[in-house]
């Protein structure tokens, strides 16, 4: 078992920022995919059933991308909250140690 845990708050914060940026890009891709239209009318009379299946699959792509984006943003938010918590604890501990510092006798 580990007795020490060092957290690089800046690095974790950067990861959270990157995940947040990725979530926005994925969300844009989901919107684009959801805007694509293909169905029986585009496929033609002979391939109407195929057009319905392709449209359904396209809808799944958009919804899957949306869920991925939401999960990425949720993870980024949790990392940000964790970093804020670590920073708060570090500041409180530093303040407490500074206030209770004992001067060594000379």
For the chain, the structural domain boundaries read 10-96
Q: Output the pLDDT for position 34.
A: 84
How many other CB atoms are found less than 10 A from the CB of residue 45?
Answer: 8
Q: Which of 11, 19, 26 is nearest to 75 (CA)?
A: 19
Q: CA 30, CA 68: separation in Å to the nearest integer?
A: 9
Q: Give the model's pLDDT for residue 94.
A: 82
Residue 92: per-residue pLDDT: 86
Q: Could you read off the pLDDT tens digit of each residue along the chain, which spans 106 residues?
A: 567 778 888 999 999 999 999 999 999 999 998 888 777 777 777 888 888 888 888 889 999 999 999 999 999 999 999 999 999 988 888 888 877 776 655 5
pLDDT at 22: 97
Angle of helix 9-35 relative to helix 48-99, nearest 10 degrees, comes to 160
Q: How far apart are CA 69 and CA 89, in angstroms?
A: 30
């Amino acid at each position: 078992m580990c007795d020490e845990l060092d957290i690089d708050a800046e690095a974790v914060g950067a990861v959270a920022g990157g995940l947040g940026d990725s979530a926005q890009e994925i969300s844009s891709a989901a919107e684009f995919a959801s805007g694509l239209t293909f169905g029986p009318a585009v496929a033609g009379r002979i391939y109407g059933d195929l057009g319905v299946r392709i449209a359904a699959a396209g809808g799944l792509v958009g919804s899957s991308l949306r869920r991925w984006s939401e999960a990425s943003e949720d993870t980024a938010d949790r990392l940000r909250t964790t970093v804020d918590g670590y920073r708060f604890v570090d500041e409180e501990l530093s303040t407490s140690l500074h206030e209770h510092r004992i001067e060594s006798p000379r």
